[in-house]
Amino acid sequence: MDNFERSEIVIAKILDNAIEIGIQEWTLQFSNLMLDDEYAPYFYPCLKWLEAEGIIRVEAYHRTIGDIAGGVVQNISLTSYGLVALGHTIKIGDDTDKMSEAVKKVSSGEKSYAQVGDFLGGILGGFTKSISS
């Protein structure tokens, strides 16, 4: 598994948690993703990437010094753009799914789209499509 595939899995796990929990008071820490330690270096960068792309909103980061994925992230929620993007039907490889279903498939380990580069592109494509709609 390469670094892009690890990033894909961490992003899917973060989004899957955000979808499941909705908009409410909550905290997320790396251990909630139920991934091996090899994914820890991707936790904060993936959160920051999702936030920078406008897909999620984060109230606060409370990082632990000296622990690459330590600490908690407070009140992650999908933005309106993120919700619209996850609701779009997209074609990834040979499959046509709602983006939210693709997130669940990657999060559960059922699928990996990193080899074709379509998972993250699908999120951003849905995001871009939602802006132009």
User: What are the structural domains of the chain?
Assistant: 3-126 (1.10.10)
pLDDT digits (tens, 9 = 90+) for 3-53: 888 998 999 999 999 999 999 999 999 999 999 999 999 999 999 999 998
Averaged pLDDT score across all residues of the chain: 83
Task: Look at residue 66 in the predicted model and tell me its pLDDT.
Answer: 87
**Residue 112, phi then psi, degrees to nearest 5:** -135, 125
pTM for this prediction: 0.81
Pairing mode, if any, of strands 27-28 and 71-78? antiparallel
3-state helix, strand, coil in the chain (%, to 5): 55, 20, 25
Pairing mode, if any, of strands 27-28 and 89-92? unpaired
| Closest listed residue to residue 120, CA positions, set 101, 89, 99, 104 | 99
pLDDT above 70 covers what percent of the chain? 80
Distance CA 69, CA 35 (A): 12
Query: Is 76 or 108 the better-scoring residue by pLDDT?
Result: 76
Q: Which DSSP helix (H) or strand (E) runs through 56?
A: strand 56-63
